[in-house]
Amino acid sequence: MLTLHNVGVRFGDKVAVAEVSLQLPEGEVLAVLGPSGCGKSTLLRAIAGLEELATGTVSVDGDDLAGVPTHRRGFALLFQDGQLFRHLDVAGNLAYPLRLRGASRGVIAERVEELLETVGLPGYGSRSVTTLSGGEQQRVALARALAAAPRLLLLDEPLSALDRALRERLAGDLRGILTGTGTTALLVTHDHDEAFTLADRMAVMFDGRIVQQGPTQQVWTHPADRQVAEFIGFSTFLKGAAAEVVRDAAHVESEDGTLALRRSALRVDDSGPLEGTVRAAAASSDAVRVELDLDGVGRVEGLAEQHATLRPGDRVRVRVDAAGMAEL
Ligand code: ADP
Ligand code: MG
């Protein structure tokens, strides 16, 4: 549906986006994941027609969009801070894009109620947007973006302004809403968990360039190199004999390359096959993060159960969860 071919954007001498080629099939969600400043928003704005292309083409169903102004592209944009009209109530915000398209009062009223149902806010139509929580405001902004049934929804870090618990819950809801409505969407984010939850396909961007793309699950389990692996949450990298000890404990075949481990790959567990010494332990919301000196392996990061009371110097046993491992 959406095809980017060799897209580049420059600001004076600065190359913000370079040689980006991506394809987004109808009904799928693609996440472009990358650190702050790598060019994600610029790429999104270029797709929307808000930045001029220095090179390449943006096309939809084979039609080049060069020269097609933003409001004629049939896309909707959703930003971090929903940008609701504060002088209108919730229904007024949702009605706005429908009124622009000349929908009748009856159609608008019906569609507004339907959209509020979709985003889990039935009956909120007459609420002033200033009385809504941050999460509710983002839901209304999403409903407004979906109101005109855009052929492509562009999302720029849509959940980044929300606190963590809400962000995790809303990410799951947003996934359900996008797939439930069959919306084709391109999301840009710096949060790898958000990309993982929301997207069918993932493209990793560094310094204006896409360095890896593929089905989300595949990128997640087969990062192309160490830089990508670190960015998507791998924190321990082992080679040679140290790596073999861990592979062996996980009952996976021996390999030559670098073994990458997420923190979740190494679990403090009395029945585990490995042994080590605790160097540091810090509680987080759902587990204890530990730094260990694993016998025969060296310094690694792992997890322990939330109730575990661990102190530096404690001897512990460790099991390996192969789901958190990748070979580079
Ligand atoms: P991201 O969204 O990944 O954080 P941006 O697309 O906002 O990154 O920015 C990419 C790079 O382009 C940054 O170095 C930024 O400073 C630069 N940039 C963005 N917009 C402009 C602009 N209008 N003029 C000049 N430089 C810009
Ligand atoms: Mg940005």
Closest protein CA for atom 1 of ligand 1: 37
CB 304 within 8 A of CB 310: yes
Determine the distance separating the centroid of ligand 1 and the alpha carbon of 16, expressed in angstroms: 6
Residue of the nearest CA to atom 10 in ligand 1? 39
Q: Given a cut of 90, is residue 306 above it in pLDDT?
A: no
Whether 65 shows a pLDDT value over 90: the answer reads yes
Provide mean pLDDT across the span 227-240. Answer: 96
Our CA dihedral for 90, 96, 101, 106, rounded to 10 degrees, sits at: 40
Q: Whose CA is nearest to atom 12 of ligand 1?
A: 16
Distance CA 278, CA 291 (A): 6
Q: Which alpha helices (DSSP H) does the chain contain, by range?
A: 40-48, 90-100, 105-118, 134-147, 164-180, 192-198, 216-221, 226-231, 240-249
* CA 225 – CA 328 distance, rounded (Å): 6
Q: Is the pLDDT of residue 256 over 80?
A: yes
The model's pLDDT over 187-218, given as tens digits with 9 standing for 90+, comes to 999 999 899 999 999 999 999 999 999 999 99
pLDDT attached to residue 121: 93
The tokens describing 322, both together, are 């192969």
Using a 6 Å cutoff on CB, does residue 41 contact ligand 1? yes
> Which of 73, 48, 46 is closest to 61 using CA atoms?
73
For residue 205, the ligand 1 atom closest to its alpha carbon is 3
Indicate if the pLDDT at residue 17 is higher than 80.
Answer: yes
| 300: amino acid identity, one letter | V
CB atoms within 10 A of CB 18: 18
Contacts of 309 (CB under 8 A, 6+ apart): none
CA of 60 relative to ligand 2 center, distance in Å: 23
Asked if pLDDT for residue 308 goes beyond 90, the answer is no
Cβ 30 vs Cβ 185: under 8 Å: yes
Residue at 36: amino acid letter:
S
Q: Please state whether the predicted TM-score (pTM) of the whole model is above 0.75.
A: yes
Residues written for the chain:
328
DSSP string, 111-144: HHHHHHHHTT-TT-TTSBGGGS-HHHHHHHHHHH
Q: What is the DSSP letter of 263?
A: G
CA angle 172, 176, 180 (to 5 degrees): 175
| Distance in angstroms (rounded) separating the CA atoms of residues 142 and 280 | 42
Mean pLDDT calculated for residue range 240-244: 97
Residues 296 and 316 sit within 8 Å (Cβ to Cβ): no
Q: For 148-184, write each residue's pLDDT tens digit.
A: 889 999 999 988 888 887 888 888 889 999 999 899 9
Q: Residue 169 has what pLDDT?
A: 83
Who's near 300: CB < 8 A, 6+ residues apart? Answer: 236, 238, 261, 266, 276, 291, 292, 294
* Least confident among 5-9, 39-43, 88-92, 143-147: 143-147
- Which residue from 285, 282, 288 is spatially nearest to 266, judged by alpha carbons? 288
- State which of 11, 33, 80 you would mutate to test the pocket of ligand 1, scoring each by most atoms of that ligand within 8 A of its C-beta: 11
Q: Is the pLDDT of residue 116 over 80?
A: yes
**Ligand in closest contact with the CA of 79:** 2
Q: Which of 102, 108, 148 is nearest to 125 (CA)?
A: 108
Residue nearest atom 26 of ligand 1, based on CA coordinates: 11
Render 280-295 in DSSP notation, one character per residue. EEEE-SSSEEEEEEET
Residue nearest to atom 20 of ligand 1 (CA): 42
